[in-house]
Amino acid sequence: MSFNHRSLLGLRELTDEEILYILDEAKAFRNILDRDIKKVPTLRWLTVMNLFYEPSTRTRLSFELAEKRLSADVVNFSKSTSSIKKGESLRDTVNNILAMKVDMVVVRHSSVGAPDYISRTTGVPVINAGDGTNEHPTQALLDLYTIREKFDHFNGLKVTILGDIRHSRVARSNIWGLKKLGANVVICAPKTLLPPNPDVFGVEWTTEIESALKDAQVVNVLRLQLERQQAGYIPSLREYRMFWGLTGERVKLLDPDHIIMHPGPMNRGVEIEPEVADADDSVILRQVTNGVAVRMAVLYILARKLKD
Ligand code: CP
C-alpha cells in the first residue's frame, strides 16, 4: 500500500485505502503503548517541530508523546513565548525554524490553510494539527480508530455528530473520513450552528435531536465554543443544555450497542452531562489513548517517505 502524500493536511484529500492504511499501522503502535517499555528507536534520526499558534492540551501533548515514543528529537514552539509577540510573520518563523535543520512540522493555526501554506512554501512534510474551521485530520483518525476498535467496520453505521458543526474542524474531518469509509453520517445542530449550506457535505442533516440520535451506533458530541453565546448563535447556555445537551434520557434513543465520543475539551453540563461523559459507554478517554498511536502512525508513514 502506498501513501501518496508528503504531508497530512486533511482527510478530504485521502482515499479510503489511505485512511485504512493509517488505521492499520496505528494498531501496531497501539500495542506498543500497552507494553512496559513504550519506546521504540524507529525515528531517532528525525527532528520534529511542534508549532502551536493556538492553545491545545490533547493534540500538543499527544504529538509530543508520539514523537518521543518513536525516539524523534522534539522542539516545541508556542505563540505566547515566541518572537511572534514582536511581530514576526509565519513565513519568517517557519524559515528560521527550518534553518535549524528540522525535518517535519506539526502545526496548529487559527487560519484556514496555514499548514498547506507551510507545506507548499518549504517543501517540508507538515501535519495539520487543526487549522481554523477547516480540518483536524489526526483527531478524525483517532475517532475512526476508536469506532473501528468497537465495531470492526464502518459500513452502514449511523454516526451522529452533534453540536457546533458550523465552526468545527473536527466535524469536517470526521465527515470526510466517515463518508469515504461507508458510514451513514448525520449532522445535527440548532439552525444557527449548522453551516449556511449544509448540503455541501453530502450527508444527512437535521435540527431535530431525537431523530438524529434514534438508533445511532455512535454519537460524537462537539464542544460548544462558549464565545458563540456572545456572538448571538445561541440564546443561553441553559437553553443549549436543555435542547441540545446529551442527557441520560437522550442516550436511551441510541442503538443499545453504542459508544459516546467527544474530542475534548468538554463543557460538562452544557453539551454533555457529566454522568453521560463518565458512563461505561463513553469512550472519551480511549480516544485520547488511541490518539497517541494514531499520531505515531502518521509520523512513521510520513518519515518513511522522506527516506524513499
Ligand atoms: N481535541 C483537541 O483538539 O483538543 P485540544 O484542543 O486540547 O488539542
pLDDT in tens, 226-262: 877 778 899 899 999 999 999 999 999 999 999 999 9
Task: Give me ligand 1 centre to Cα 75, in Å.
Answer: 19
pLDDT at 113 over 80: yes
Is position 25 within any domain? Answer: yes
Range of the domain at 231: 137-283
136 CA from centroid of ligand 1 (Å): 9
Alpha helices (runs of H) in the chain, residue ranges in sequence order: 16-33, 58-69, 90-99, 114-122, 137-151, 169-180, 209-213, 227-230, 237-244, 248-251, 274-277, 284-307
> Do 219 and 260 sit in the same domain of this protein?
yes
Higher pLDDT, 87 or 19: 19
CA 266 – ligand 1 centroid, Å:
10
Question: What's residue 307's pLDDT?
Answer: 87
Q: Which atom of ligand 1 is nearest to the CA of 59?
A: 8
What distance in angstroms lies between residue 148's CA and the mean position of ligand 1's atoms?
Answer: 21
Residue nearest to atom 3 of ligand 1 (CA): 59
Helices 137-151, 169-180: axis angle to 10 degrees equals 50
Residue 285's pLDDT is 98
Angle between helices 16-33 and 58-69 (to 10 degrees): 70
Strands 104-109 vs 126-131: parallel, antiparallel or unpaired = parallel
Task: Give nearest CA residue, ligand 1 atom 6.
Answer: 56
Task: Write down the pLDDT at residue 154.
Answer: 98
**Test site for ligand 1: of 50, 53, 57, most ligand atoms within 8 A of the Cβ:** 57
One domain, residues 270 and 153:
yes
Residues near ligand 1 with C-beta < 6 Å?
56-59, 130, 136, 139, 263-265
* Residues 147 and 126 grouped into a single domain: no
CA–centroid distance, residue 130 to ligand 1 (Å)? 9
- Atom 5, ligand 1: which residue's CA is nearest? 56
pLDDT digits (tens, 9 = 90+) for 181-195: 999 999 999 999 999
Over residues 99-109, mean pLDDT: 95
Q: Which atom of ligand 1 is nearest to the CA of 60?
A: 8
| Residues 107-118, mean pLDDT to the nearest whole number | 96
Q: pLDDT tens digits for 215-224? A: 999 999 999 9
Q: Looking at the structure, tell me whether residues 165 and 97 fall in a common domain.
A: no
Please give the average per-residue pLDDT across 266-272, as a whole number. 96
Q: How many angstroms does the Cα of residue 263 sit away from the middle of ligand 1?
A: 7
Report the nearest atom of ligand 1 relative to the CA of 54.
Answer: 6
Enter the pTM of the model. 0.96
Say if 115 falls within a structural domain.
yes
Give a yes or no: residue 275 inside a domain: yes
Residue 4 lies in a domain: no
Q: Is 230 exposed, middle or buried (0-12, 13-18, 19+ CB in 10 A)?
A: exposed
Q: Which residue has the higher pLDDT, 118 or 308?
A: 118
- For residue 39, the model assigns a pLDDT of 95
Question: Is the pLDDT assigned to residue 291 strictly greater than 90?
Answer: yes
Does residue 58 lie within any of the structural domains?
A: yes
Dump pLDDT digits (tens) for 71-100.
999 999 888 777 888 889 988 998 998 899
Distance 57 CA to ligand 1 centre (A): 6
Q: pLDDT at position 81, please?
A: 77
Alpha carbon nearest to ligand 1 atom 1, residue: 263
- The answer to the question of residue 3 being in a domain is no
Task: State the CATH number of the domain containing residue 274.
Answer: 3.40.50.1370
Q: Tens digits of per-residue pLDDT, 120-169? A: 999 999 999 999 999 999 999 999 999 999 999 999 999 999 999 999 99
User: In terms of domains, do 170 and 230 share one?
Assistant: yes
Mean residue pLDDT of the chain comes to: 95
pLDDT at 87: 85
Share of the chain above pLDDT 70, in %: 99
Structural domains counted in the chain: 2
Show Cβ contacts of residue 6 under 8 Å, excluding neighbours closer than 6 positions: 119, 123, 125, 302, 305
Residue with cell 431523530: 211
Both 68 and 145 in a single domain?
no
Q: Give me the pLDDT at residue 131, please.
A: 97
